[in-house]
Structure 1
């Protein structure tokens, strides 16, 4: 993973998308591998750079990218039709129409079609490039889908906290889930896998928890004292916030000068605060 920290980290001769691909792929280049990317990264320039390092590139392509074939972009085709052009030696740019136009680039495919019959269209064909791309990207799409279930990041947290939480409770758990299924041959769902991990953590640390009897005795003990500051009652604030929302809780929560050493504000009624009735 590479964290984007601004244009100052990129090479002037390369775009941000090209730079991050080359940086992450550095240990894997010069070995005849094939890299599958989405349309944010795909470009003719990146394909040339990877070919120089003995690596193939396959990916969907955005319109109006630099060095794109204008003929491919402007040519209108009907559903099921496909056109292709060789942009540079070894680089094939392809356009195929299914429900909409699909523009793709590859350094290892030609303009070949494969039969994919369906009930609606028994003679339906699909480019081999698109089939290979879909089969290879399916693993990434599935991984992103599994991370989206019960996602821990929430609105309002700092970006670096969100990154840490995503790595620990998103990416790491998905990888652990894949490894667990591979080793145990247990086809457990990702949600159940997460529940089992949480349950195991609680059981492991249950000995550190305070017994329920001690918790009740601890709660029944109050030591009230006047602080001289009028602060919001904690219990009233939580109750109003749960029922009406944060804004009403900020405006309607009563304030008190009494505080409790056990709980910062014990939430006694006004007349009980003045008397200092510890039994409440």
Structure 2
């Protein structure tokens, strides 16, 4: 399996805000001439949303799902000074340095479960992923999936790992059943959760978890609300995921029960 790794680009042009996103992401262009959807560290949940996006997306990729390429996106100090919108200018100024961006899938359309039927094993694996990373944001209201070139792509994992907004009782939170899975858009199709658990646990090993967590850049770990070092913060994410993996039967049972309640 290919080792997790991210390129770094410099943002050269702010094209337009994507106002459907609560954190005001934007369509941008970088110095490699590609367009990206940029997630700003100066937005609502700050670097923690970027960490969730990074970890969630790369775990999804390790499971074999199609996920737009992620890159670290550098915003330099002068960027955005000519921006006329005061809210956007403030966001750009607060986001100087390293941000996160997803390769823009031009022409992609939002996934509609009424139009596109997802394979039951594939649906079960996606439900497993979102229960594992505690992603509250893949619902009928907001599927966070795209159809591009007739294939299913997963996007937007920034609402995952919500434990890190309180940063307490991590061991206990790693063993939670994740009741929000009842709202998952693909839960009705997820009839093969046990098979998905067996499949995913072979790919997401403790070693793979460490490798993905190691991608978090130092710049995102300078937290003002903790005395923990960068290494200690990374260890918390590693422990959360490792513990959750070891006790996957807890969230699998919750998903199965939620699915039965739908029928």
Q: TM-score, normalised by structure 1?
A: 0.22
> Looking at CA atoms only, which structure, 1 or 2, has the larger radius of gyration?
1
